[in-house]
Structure 1
Amino acid sequence: MGWFSSSSDDPSKNLDPQLKEFLDQELSHFRAGPPAVANPPPKAPEPTQQTTQSNVPRESLYQDGRYAHLWKTYQPINEVEARFSTEREQMSEISSTLKDQVGAVKKAAMENCSIEDQAINECYKSGTWMDRMMMCRKENKAFNRCWTMQTQFLKALGYLGVAGRDPEMEEKVQMHADRLYHQMLEQERLIKEAKARGEQPPDFDNVLSGDNVAVTKDAANTKARELNAEAQRQHAAILKKKFEEQQQEKEAERKRIEAQRREAEKKEIESMPISATLKSEIEGRLKDRHGLDRDLEFRAIKAEIAQRQEIANNSLALIEKSKANMLARREAGQQTMGDRVKRWWGGWD
């Protein structure tokens, strides 16, 4: 019964003759054994030296190496797009990091100005009527200055400027910025009080001096470095010694200038057309005077001598004029008794 019958009859006897012939042809290949191995195809000719050395992309129409020098700088469009895409991602990451750092610096400045911020809140809550009418102008001004200066101090000290630095060290930088800000306020207060008293304002070092900035710069490499009491004492001693040396240099320069000035004064006094007694008197007047006081006194002395010289010159001119008039009267025969007395006793002749 069909294909599932167990009969030994040939099952293909009922097939179409043409189909049966086709099956017999196909089965004959399996009955005859494996087919003979065909001869291998001839090898392709070896590429010439010019073809081997050519380095042109597949976009070139001449793969034999022609115009290869024109394709040396060629870059596929997919490589260009991939590179620029990576650069854009890097720039975006850098911009995002910069924004985060700016925000962190502003936040740290707000933390350092918490006292000023609290003062504003207290002013609005329990301040005087006039202060609230003025919108707590004084407190807001103090807070704005604090926030601006704290931000600048943090940036100058390198807050969040070192990659991989631990939060503890960043907190030390933040505290150091706050300490320098209050040091600046104290210096401003002392200078203002000195000016109010009419005194010479004290000369302070720059708050952002090399030593103060080095506290945070060195801390980036040595996390354990801090300014302890001994370091502060040594630093103060160095500053004191430096100040004393500067004062000594200024004093030596002042003495040198004073010596040069006195030497010039001495030469000028010697050249004056006055008597030796008067010169000694001038030197006595200048002996115990120094600085501006001595300069003013010497100028006054020169003015007095110039005035005396002018009086003497005018007197001589008057005497000469009187002599000329006397001679003119004598020649005209109109000589007076005074003219005779001057001739006899004054020597006017």
Structure 2
Amino acid sequence: MGWWWKNSDGPSENDAVSKLDPALRQFLDKEAPVKYTPSSPPDSYSPQSPLAQTPQPIQVVHKPPSEDDSNPKVPSESLFPDGRYAHLWKTYEPQSVIESRGKSDQERLSDIVGVYNDRKASVGRIALENCALEQLAVSECFTYGSWASRATLCRTENRAFDRCYDMQKKFLKALGYLNIVDRSVEEEEKIQIHADKLYRRMIEQEEIMQKAKKEGRPIPEFPSVMSKENIFAAVNGRPLITDPEGPSTPSCEHTSTIWEGVAESTRKEYEKRLENLSPIERAVEERAIEGELAATRAYSKQIEAEFIKERIHRLQRKEEGRETIGDTIKGWWGW
């Protein structure tokens, strides 16, 4: 609180030097190398003072990333896909590459055969997973079913389960599950889900057709569940086509393209599988056969490529004087 007679131009109350003894202050003014000037109070600074100036925004200069620093590549095994520690992964080699480097030609051929057999076995395992409800119905029938059902060994439930298992395998083959390619777990799960969607749609169409037949109405004709439109809808999570737009039997042009490059004996074997099938089942069976043939062709190409590599290695060993007994015997047979 100030006094009304106080001179505002005088020294400030916060100035400690003004309160000194006059003799002492005179001594300080004489001996100090720099002349003392009382500072103004904080609230009376001039607009030219540094505190009164408006702070200028800080300009951040972005350095364009160089080709070496932008998006460094790291393998999928890294926990940091943004490229951190990329210098540590420059000399990295997957375990599979290191193991295959020390394998012989026969071991590599055996690996291809083993992968193909495992893929065929996995089709049945995935089909069992998709038919879990039908399998549960069989189990409940034997446990809690009526006397008549258990006396017939739950024939109705067993037939539904057997048909589900058989058709699910065909849908998986038709969607390319047999192909020996490097797929992630998520991609294989998508194929499994799509196969089940198509099978359930086929069951719905058959129920609609049977109901119309019992009621004496014209039997509707649905497009094939294996048509390109329905497969595209299943893969992209869209509802399948349900409006009757035409027969479900595939065109003759598509049927003829299945057998291109197939031996006559193999063709007759496949044609037996198409006999006595309904139009819907026939369309699924043809697509399944097409998937099997595509997987077999890809498998044959890999085997052929390995045979070529094996022959090149055998000739190199012969030129270097390291020919083995097996190489000699294969040469006698003209391999």
Q: Is the shorter-chain TM-score for this pair beyond 0.5, marking a shared fold?
A: no
TM-score, structure 1 length as denominator? 0.38
TM-score, structure 2 length as denominator? 0.39
